[in-house]
Every structure is written in structure tokens, then in C-alpha cells.
Amino acid sequence: MPVITNIEDLKRIYQRRVPRMFYDYCESGSWTEQTFRENSTDFDKLRLRQRVAVDMSGRSTASQMIGQDVAMPVALAPVGLTGMQRADGEIKAARAARDFGVPFTLSTMSINSIEDVAEATRAPFWFQLYTMRDQDFVRRLIQRAKDANCSALVITLDLQIMGQRHKDIKNGLSAPPKLTARTIADLATKWGWGIEMLSAKRRNFGNIVGHVQGIKDNSKLGAWSAEQFDPTLDWDKIAKIKEQWGGKVILKGILDAEDARMAVKVGADAIVVSNHGGRQLDGALSSIAMLPSILDAVGDQVEVHLDSGIRSGQDVLKAVAMGAQGTFIGRAFIYGLGAMGQKGVTAALEVIQKEMDVTMALCGVTKVSDLGRHNLLIPQDFGGVWQP
């Protein structure tokens, strides 16, 4: 077993093991990738206040997200096609999250279905909903998530239309990969991935195939999903979905204080300050740069979470010290999954927890609820001076 000391170690192994098409799918941002890059580099602008001679014994990273106990304020973000990064990837990631004590979020565009994950984990998880034009399909999807005992519905709001990621078009991204001279040459060097994939439970979108009229296999699936994201989604529809769900609702993809206020109005239990990991609106500011203005607007009315750009426990700590109640990680756990399966996701979580714990200690903090802006050194121009 390789020695893993940081998330970058997992990324290197991941890149060697997984077909190029799926590595590129994960590692891309939209268009120029400015927002994708700044999501991470903006974390580096925040610095930490070193404190000494504070009793640092009995520390804990434990916290709560939407009232649920978590081993640290980190949830696994919904990531489409996770089961293409590793055979049965959603099941493996969900098991790792369950054993570690953090929430797992299953994407609508997952390979393993809601039922697969529920049966394999026997633990409540969160379900992420993309609203689709096919209202009947959405209604049934919500019912399936209820039947599977999902403990929160994460509604993603920033993908009514897909941002363009150049590499996916050039690679002809599909699940399973189409066999062309290029993909065959690539797969020949990724035999470990291929052998495991032969015995995977599924190799296409498990929440969709067999649940939509006329979609029994992959032949019509690509066209169906591309035209299905609902361009008419608005706050009224969100309120109706919330009513149908009847449980906890997290609204994901909020990057503006005005939208955050609307999210409060429709009664969200939490919002996720997110730009979809830089995969949607290129040119948007990073999530961490937008967090302070959103906290100022709604921080006392709704639980605020953050994702996009988190690659370490220090990033988690910075987001929480800034005022977020929790965070989500996307790529950081996918690197682990692609590299080493369930063990790799656990390794990613362990790295992040250890980094968070040691950083807390050196900042003189022993519990998550004591973290605050007093632990940060925030440059005066952090976030920049931008005018609408």
C-alpha cells in the first residue's frame, strides 16, 4: 500500500489508474477554467493565526450539519458518473463515508442507483436532485429517495444548462466509454480499471435506465439526459419540490447574496455556497471569496455550507472559521476513490481530518464551535472590491 500523506498523492495514483476520459471529466472546469483555478488559489490567500500555550488536549473535529452529527464538518459532494471512476464507485464511497461518520450525497447522474446504495449501506444518505423536464420522472425520483430513507434532499440550482468543458467534447465522454482507436489505446494501459469494471453492478445511469419510458439501455440515454435539464426551474418550482419532499432540503449552487435571501424565503434548511467546482459559470468568483457577503446577508437565518476548491483540512478549517457550518468535497474524494477504491476515500477523509486537527491545535482551538474569524488573517482586499 503506498504511503499517502496528502490529497495530491491520491490524485497522482488516480491519474495513472483511471481512463483519460474520466480523469479529464473530473479535473476540468468550464471554458478558460479561471473559476476552477481560483476556487483553490483563493484559499491560499487566507492565512492562519498561530497561537501558543493553550491546552490542546481533548481536541475533536466533531460537529453537526443540518442537525446531524458528523465526525468533521465535511460531506461527500454529489458527483455524476462516480461509478465510472471505479466499479461500484457510489457504493464504495457511501460505505467509506458511513464508516467515517460523514454524510454521503448521491447524484441524480450516478451509476449505482438510489436503491443500490440504500441496500449496500443500510444507512441514511443524502440524495441530490437535478430537476428535469420530465415532471413525472422527478416525482418518482423524489419518492424513490424517500422510500430509500434518504435523510436530506440536495437540490442543485446551478445546472439548468451545462457549462462547456472542452475536454469532455474532445474525448467524446460517455458511460460506458465508446470504443474508438483512442479509447482502446488508453484502456490498454488501464487494465486494472477495466478488469474491475467487468464485474461492476452497473455501467450506465442507474437512476434513469429502466425508470424512464423508452430508455431501456444506453442508445438513447445521452440525448435524453442532455435535453432533460429543466431550463424553466424557478423559486416556485423549488418550493413545490420542497413540499413534495417534506424533509430537510439543502439548496446547492448559491453564489450571490440575493439568491441566498430567496433560498431563505423558500424555507431551505441549508444552502451550499458553490460554483459547482468551477464547472458551470466560468468568470464567477470563487466560493470562498463569495462566502463573507452571503454570510452577512443570511448567516443568522439559515445554515451555510461551502464547496468548490477544498483540497485539504486547512481549507475546511478556513471555510468554517470564516463562518460556514459545513463543507462538501468533490474531487478530493474522487481522487481517493479512483486511486484505491473504498480505502482511498477513507484515506482522503483521514488526510483531511488529520490536517484539520493539527491545524486546530496549532491555532489553539480544541473544538469546531470555537473556530471563528479570530483564527484567520484575512487580507484587506480578500474577495476583491467588485461592483455589480
- Among all residues, which ones are annotated catalytic? 276
Q: What are phi and psi of 258, to 5 degrees?
A: -65, -40
Q: Is 163 in the site for ligand FMN (CB under 6 A)?
A: no
CA dihedral defined by 259, 241, 330, 50, rounded to 10 degrees?
A: 50
Q: Give me the least distance between CB of 328 and ligand FMN, in Å please.
A: 6
86 is annotated as contributing to ligand binding: no
Q: Which of residues 50-89 bind ligand FMN (CB under 6 A)?
A: 77-80
Q: Is 128 in the site for ligand FMN (CB under 6 A)?
A: yes
Residues 162, 15: Cα–Cα separation, whole Å? 25
Positive/negative CA dihedral, 359, 59, 289, 292:
negative
Q: Is 327 in the site for ligand FMN (CB under 6 A)?
A: no
Q: Which of residues 164-193 bind ligand FMN (CB under 6 A)?
A: none
Burial of 79 (0-12, 13-18, 19+ CB in 10 A): buried
One-letter amino acid of 74: V
Q: Is 312 in the site for ligand FMN (CB under 6 A)?
A: no
Residues 249, 269: Cα–Cα separation, whole Å? 5
Give the DSSP letter string of 185-250. HHHTT-HHHHHHHHT-S-SS-TTTTTTBTTBSSSTTHHHHHHHHB-TT--HHHHHHHHHHH-S-EE
Q: Is 157 in the site for ligand FMN (CB under 6 A)?
A: no
Q: Which is nearer to ligand FMN, 108 or 365 (CB)?
A: 108
Residues 197, 94: Cα–Cα separation, whole Å? 18
One-letter amino acid of 305: H
67 is annotated as contributing to ligand binding: no
One-letter amino acid of 11: K
Q: Is 338 in the site for ligand FMN (CB under 6 A)?
A: no
Q: Which is nearer to ligand FMN, 39 or 312 (CB)?
A: 39
The correct pick among 21, 46, 70, 109 for binding ligand FMN (CB under 6 A) is: 109
Q: Which is nearer to ligand FMN, 215 or 365 (CB)?
A: 215
Cβ–Cβ < 8 Å for 344, 18: no
Cβ–Cβ < 8 Å for 163, 34: no
Q: Per-residue x/- mask for ligand FMN, residues 261 to 300, rule CB under 6 A?
A: -------------x-xx-x---------------------
Q: Is 330 in the site for ligand FMN (CB under 6 A)?
A: yes
Burial 236-257 (b: 16+ CB within 10 A, else e): ebbeebbeebeebbbbbbbbbe
63 is annotated as contributing to ligand binding: no
Span interacting with ligand FMN, options 161-169, 198-206, 238-246, 326-334, rule CB under 6 A: 326-334
Q: Which is nearer to ligand FMN, 159 or 365 (CB)?
A: 159
49 is annotated as contributing to ligand binding: no
Q: Give me the least distance between CB of 19 and ligand FMN, in Å please.
A: 14
How far is C-alpha 251 from the geometric centre of its chain's CA atoms? 13
Q: Give me the least distance between CB of 251 and ligand FMN, in Å please.
A: 11
Q: Per-residue x/- mask for ligand FMN, residues 202 to 241, rule CB under 6 A?
A: ----------------------------------------
Residues 10, 332: Cα–Cα separation, whole Å? 8
Binding residues for glyoxylate, as ranges, are 25, 165, 276, 279
Residues in the annotated binding site: 25, 78-80, 107, 128, 130, 156, 165, 252, 274, 276, 279, 307-311, 330-331
Binding site, annotated residues for FMN: 78-80, 107, 128, 130, 156, 252, 274, 307-311, 330-331
Which stretches of the chain bind ligand FMN, using CB under 6 A? 25-26, 39, 77-80, 107, 109, 128, 156, 252, 274, 276-277, 279, 307-310, 328-332
